[in-house]
Structure 1
Amino acid sequence: MKLPRMVYNQPEVVQPVRTDVLIMSPWLAPIVWDGTYNLGILNAQYRQRKFRVGITIFAIKKYTVFVKKFIESAEKYFMVGQKVTYYIFTDRASDIPVMNLAEGRSIAVLKVPSYPRWQDVSMRRMEMIRDSSHTRFSHEVDYLVCVDVDMTFNDEVGVEILSNLFGTLHPGMFGLPRDSYTYERNPQSEAYIPADEGDFYYAGGFFGGNTEEVYKLTNFCHKAMMVDKEKNIEAVWHDESYLNRYFLYHKPTKILSPEYLWDDNFGIPAFLKRRRFLAVPKNHDEIRNRR
């Protein structure tokens, strides 16, 4: 196969592309910010291999109201031109709208039970992703992107996020010292992280990787939760607490900056050049706790 010409500006070897933010972790995982990559180069490289991306969302109880806007925004900005499957976990399959998607993109509705408390819904996500990774996802897609449904894509999110295992820096914890992170601090919990450990605080609303690595991550988190449940322990931030514990000892191979998960309640700081994935304003109590 004859490859197209690769014409672009030569990379600078003595001038960093960003000096206002960290762009590489101590274990050499790139931190993805606007200006740190050339999407044209990346797309050209990924076109040389066939791959499919799965994106998981959980539309439990009233969270089904977010599905339509979520998918509309994803069709405009998420992996445009790539093969994508939207995996929608829901207890209300009849509420999921029929939508027109671009070629090569599809919706798969996965029926799951509901739970009385939103905390239980949140924690059971790891179990459901784990089980489906083993029985279905590994046969249908190469990469999984696991995100919250009560968000909208606001700018392009493409192949620059793909890696064996990636996490996203939490916008509310960005720039804080590690002892200020809201890690689980109970030494009896499987999610426990001491005050003198930790690299970053990762958000539970945007993580992923190849199907094998996502299986390992979700399997760890679910098993750890079940151990804690036997001890009547519930981690402070539920599945997010176990995710942070996993990433401490199983370093992600790529880290997404807060551009990839932002809430405008935090304002728009100077380092934030793009807001790619935005929280939808809502009444949390109304959505979480009522049918």
Structure 2
Amino acid sequence: MRFSSNIKLYVLLLIVGIFLLLGYVYFSFFTERLNRDTPVDEDQKSSSQSKPMVRSRERNMVSSEKLLYKQPSVLMGRTDVVAVTPWLAPIIWEGTYDPVLVDNIYKPMNLTIATTVFAVGKYVSFLRDFLETAEKHFMVGFNVRYYVFTDRPHDVPSVNLTQGRHISVIQVPGSNRWQEISARRMEIIQTTIESQISRVADYIFCLDVDSKFHARWGAESLGRLVAVIHPGYYEQTRDHFPYERHPASMAYIPMDEGDYYYGGAMIGGFVEDVYTLTKICRNRFEVDAENSIEAAWQEESHLNRYLLYNKPSKVLSPEYLWQDFKAKTKEVKVIRFSGVIKNYAEVRPNV
């Protein structure tokens, strides 16, 4: 009787084992088939395989009790500009946000913002004004880490920084062509995110050094992926945008496509999102180079291609990227960041 019971137990265990084995084989086959049949964007696939470690940033929009600020309205506000994109991303203009409320929400988060600038060759002469004006207007009250890429580290000026703000100087090679300097910017930002920035920063802004801050640039600019509208084309239609129009280029945008023309002097967002952008733009740039193609406006052309199909979650108005030679228009109430007037023949190795 005992022997018969043991046989029944063994048979039962054997049957259970067979069912488990068949289930495992079926599940493995189904999963493999699903993965094989699901299309994957190659750019996104390659970038996801080598994404750097990043810090968690999921936070609630918490404001203090008894905070006094102007009551918002759904009926009153700016009517001379559009403050939202067709995909519902905010466009940041003066008068479309409350700086008191924004600061109250974001400053307690203890965020760190990485900021990259390239001061290669004679462009190092713009670095002092950039840093000194940034200390007055850029992300005041936040932790900021400046990353200065230069071939002249000994010419980097000493600037007084407020508490929680630091400068890292990273030596990079110079070049006889400014186009090559522009081309390598995406690569250098990508590799620096991998090696340094991803470990210490929540957000990153990549800015042009030949510029100065003139007014507040704060937490209203923070977002997952942030772009800025080029001041020279915000009044133009897409057929006048200087997109890359040659189909052979990886930066190609057809004549009947395009949202805005974004300036290459500012890229921003979560560290991992900017990492993906720089990696994909770099790869596309290198494909063009292998085919002896140089896009119309180098990295800016590839940036616009990327942002057309990977929509920014926040768009900054031309207030955040003006040009000193342009007169302020009625729509631009405040100039926050502006490219300085310069003689390109004096500062560029080639024109």
TM superposition score normalised by structure 1? 0.97
Amino acid at match of 1:215: Y
Cα displacement (A) at 1:266: 2.4
User: In the alignment, which residue of structure 2 is the partner of 1:201?
Assistant: 261
User: In the alignment, which residue of structure 2 is the partner of 1:187?
Assistant: 247
Segment drifting more, 97-106 vs 224-233: 97-106
User: In the alignment, which residue of structure 1 is the partner of 2:123?
Assistant: 63
Provide the rounded CA distance (Å) in 1 between the counterparts of 2:215 and 2:236: 26
User: In the alignment, which residue of structure 1 is the partner of 2:50?
Assistant: none
Cα displacement (A) at 1:130: 0.7
Q: 1:9 aligns with which of 41, 49, 70?
A: 70
RMSD: 1.3
Residue 115 in structure 1 maps to residue 172 in structure 2: no
Amino acid at match of 2:217: V
Cα displacement (A) at 1:264: 3.0
Residue 253 in structure 1 maps to residue 309 in structure 2: no
Residue 134 in structure 1 maps to residue 200 in structure 2: no
Cα displacement (A) at 1:2: 10
Over the matched positions of the two proteins, sequence identity in percent amounts to 47
Residue 34 in structure 1 maps to residue 94 in structure 2: yes
User: In the alignment, which residue of structure 2 is the partner of 1:217?
Assistant: 277
Amino acid at match of 1:183: Y
Provide the rounded CA distance (Å) in 2 between the counterparts of 1:47 and 1:275: 23
Cα displacement (A) at 1:4: 4.3
Provide the rounded CA distance (Å) in 2 between the counterparts of 1:286 and 1:126: 25
Provide the rounded CA distance (Å) in 2 between the counterparts of 1:3 and 1:41: 9
Residue 124 in structure 1 maps to residue 124 in structure 2: no
- Structure 1, gaps ≥5 residues long: none
Mapped contact 2:63–2:104 kept (Cα < 8 A): no
Q: Deviations over 1:106-150 (max 9, x none)?
A: 100011111220001011100000111111111011100111000
User: In the alignment, which residue of structure 1 is the partner of 2:148?
Assistant: 88
Q: Which has the higher helix share?
A: 2
Instruction: Determine helix, strand or coil for the equivalent of 2:301.
Output: helix
Provide the rounded CA distance (Å) in 2 between the counterparts of 1:64 and 1:2: 41
User: In the alignment, which residue of structure 2 is the partner of 1:79?
Assistant: 139
Residue 23 in structure 1 maps to residue 83 in structure 2: yes
Cα displacement (A) at 1:156: 0.8
Cα displacement (A) at 1:285: 1.7
Amino acid at match of 2:246: N
Provide the rounded CA distance (Å) in 2 between the counterparts of 1:64 and 1:161: 26
Provide the rounded CA distance (Å) in 1 between the counterparts of 2:162 and 2:232: 34
Q: 2:294 aligns with which of 222, 225, 234?
A: 234
Provide the rounded CA distance (Å) in 2 between the counterparts of 1:256 and 1:9: 22
Provide the rounded CA distance (Å) in 1 between the counterparts of 2:319 and 2:288: 33
Q: Give the 4+ runs in structure 1 shifted more than 6 A.
A: none
Mapped contact 2:126–2:210 kept (Cα < 8 A): yes
Amino acid at match of 1:12: S
Provide the rounded CA distance (Å) in 2 between the counterparts of 1:207 and 1:124: 15
Change in Cα spacing, 1:200 to 1:2, as seen in structure 2 (3 Å) is closer
Q: 1:178 aligns with which of 223, 238, 243?
A: 238
Matched positions, count? 289
Provide the rounded CA distance (Å) in 1 between the counterparts of 2:84 and 2:72: 17
Ranked by relative contact order (alpha carbons within 8 Å, sequence separation 6 or more), the top structure is: 1
Residue 97 in structure 1 maps to residue 157 in structure 2: yes
Amino acid at match of 1:250: N
User: In the alignment, which residue of structure 2 is the partner of 1:275?
Assistant: 335
Mapped contact 2:113–2:202 kept (Cα < 8 A): yes
User: In the alignment, which residue of structure 2 is the partner of 1:155?
Assistant: 215
Provide the rounded CA distance (Å) in 2 between the counterparts of 1:83 and 1:70: 17
Q: Deviations over 1:74-121 (max 9, x none)?
A: 011111111101110011111101221101111000111112200010
